[in-house]
Amino acid sequence: MDGLDKLQRMAPFMDMEVLEGEHRPPTGGHRPPTGGHRPPTGGHRPPAAETYPKRQSFPIYMAALPNGKRTPILKSMFSSACTRNCKYCAFRADRDFRRETFQPDEMAESFVRIHRAGAVQGIFLSSGMMGSGVTTQDKLLDTAEILRHRMGYQDYLHLKIMPGAEKEQVRRAMQLADRVSVNLEAPTTAHLHKLAPQKMLLEELLRPLRWVEEIRLNEPGRYGWKGRWPSSTTQFVVGAVDETDVDLLRASQYLTHQLHLKRVYYSPFNPVPGTPLEHQSALNPWRQSRLYQASFLIRDYGFDLEEFPFAADGNLPLDVDPKLAWAQQNLAERPVDLERADLQHLMRVPGIGPVGAKAILKARRLGRLRGLRDLRRLGVHAERAGPFILIHGRRPAQQLALF
Ligand code: SF4
């Protein structure tokens, strides 16, 4: 069978697999996060019609690259066969469907044909477990070696680090890829046991992520692909078991601050027919959105886990974004003086993100900050910020009425 046929046969199953980039923000009356960050959109969007190979449907999705640009990526499994039985997964061993497995050169050649046709600008290569993690990782590395060194492929490559991979394999992946990732799936050992009983959180999943950071810290970046080490990411499955937002965000804070992960993805649980969790409800998409908002606040705004207004059940309220909830509790009576506040304090105000805060500091130096209209010109969401700020020592409530 042709490698392209295999990819097409795999495409419907990739819809059921939980891979980063597949979440969508919920639609409705609620707003996305304040300060300019929005939960990334995803899904399988075909590229422009003129570049898309006719009558072919591959597992392609829009990914955010390490440089922030969004681009079509082929998302493929090296093998859809798996010896493990994760309870949420479409590829679990006990599930009955036709499996596909590539050879490394077949995978590389199939991808390069799609890439040369202009349909994608990168590849995210993962796999089911073909026996051990070490064996499977070798297949992914062989594919990457062929792409980089035999076929001269220079564009984006995201390699999955398999559970149980060895440190030397992690290092090799980092020499070939623009991004590497390990899916932790759950924030604690107990939660992982309920989701994926055969996976070991600390030994198989967290350890490789720690190696990634260790290598980045201790070995010269010139050994990495194009002279720098790759970024790293992870993913949690949310809503399949009883993990709370506190559990997820505590783990995220550690991963972001200690292991310097670029992104933590929150993949919404969706029941897959033929799995033990098939009758369980799908995740409320607002929970995913609130988790992204809180994780961006931790990563980019200097927020600490302890500052979020968690409910008694350990979850964030769904009906208000966490930055606004924090401001209502902390800034309503003590508004931020835009003439005096430093960058960190400015970014605490709803409607003001890192870009807006820097613009305010600059406008302040130039004497161009007189009212809400000036804020608006700087790209600040003035209506959101209004209740929590002082301009020239006064609340801009009257100015708000002019908008
Ligand atoms: S290891 Fe688990 S999550 Fe990964 S493909 Fe196999 S069953 Fe799915």
Span from the CA of 80 to the centroid of ligand 1 (angstroms): 9
Is 177 near ligand 1, meaning CB less than 6 Å away? Answer: no
CA distance 274 to 272: 6
- Burial (CB count <10 Å: 0-12, 13-18, 19+), residue 272: buried
pLDDT at residue number 15: 57
Pairing state between β 122-126 and 156-160? parallel
CA distance 363 to 167: 49
pLDDT tens across the length of the chain (403 residues): 688 888 888 877 775 544 444 344 455 433 434 433 333 333 333 333 333 444 357 888 888 776 778 899 999 999 999 999 999 999 999 999 999 999 999 999 999 999 999 999 999 999 999 999 999 999 999 999 999 999 999 999 999 999 999 999 999 999 999 999 999 999 999 999 999 999 999 999 999 999 999 999 999 999 999 999 999 999 999 999 999 999 999 999 999 999 999 999 999 999 999 999 999 999 999 999 999 999 999 999 999 999 999 999 999 999 999 999 999 999 999 999 999 999 999 999 999 999 999 999 999 999 888 888 899 999 999 999 999 999 988 888 655 555 4
pLDDT at residue number 34: 40
Per the CB < 8 A criterion, the answer to whether 96 and 80 are in contact is no
What's the angle, vertex CA 124, arms to CA 119 and CA 130, rounded to 5? Answer: 125
CA-closest residue to ligand 1 atom 5: 128
Span from the CA of 9 to the centroid of ligand 1 (angstroms): 18
Please tell me the pTM assigned to this model: 0.88
**Closest to 349 in 3D by CA, of 364, 340, 338:** 338
Is 195 near ligand 1, meaning CB less than 6 Å away? Answer: no
- Name the amino acid, one letter, at 116: R
CA distance 290 to 311: 13
Span from the CA of 195 to the centroid of ligand 1 (angstroms): 11
CA distance 233 to 60: 19
pLDDT at residue number 31: 41
Fold of 3-307: TIM Barrel (3.20.20)
Is 92 near ligand 1, meaning CB less than 6 Å away? Answer: yes
Is 18 near ligand 1, meaning CB less than 6 Å away? Answer: no
Span from the CA of 198 to the centroid of ligand 1 (angstroms): 10
- 196 CA: nearest ligand 1 atom: 2
> Per-residue pLDDT tens for 4-49?
888 888 877 775 544 444 344 455 433 434 433 333 333 333 333 3
Domain-wise residue ranges, the chain: 3-307, 331-400
CA distance 21 to 44: 10
Here the tokens at position 46 are 């075909």
pLDDT at residue number 133: 97
Span from the CA of 81 to the centroid of ligand 1 (angstroms): 9
pLDDT at residue number 32: 39
- Name the amino acid, one letter, at 114: I
Per the CB < 8 A criterion, the answer to whether 209 and 255 are in contact is yes
Q: How far apart are the first and last CA of the chain?
A: 63
pLDDT at residue number 54: 41
| DSSP 3-state percent helix, strand, coil across the chain (nearest 5) | 40, 10, 45
- 92 CA: nearest ligand 1 atom: 7
Span from the CA of 199 to the centroid of ligand 1 (angstroms): 9
pLDDT at residue number 61: 85
Per the CB < 8 A criterion, the answer to whether 247 and 237 are in contact is no
Is 162 near ligand 1, meaning CB less than 6 Å away? Answer: no
DSSP one-letter code for 203? I
CA distance 139 to 143: 6
pLDDT at residue number 372: 87
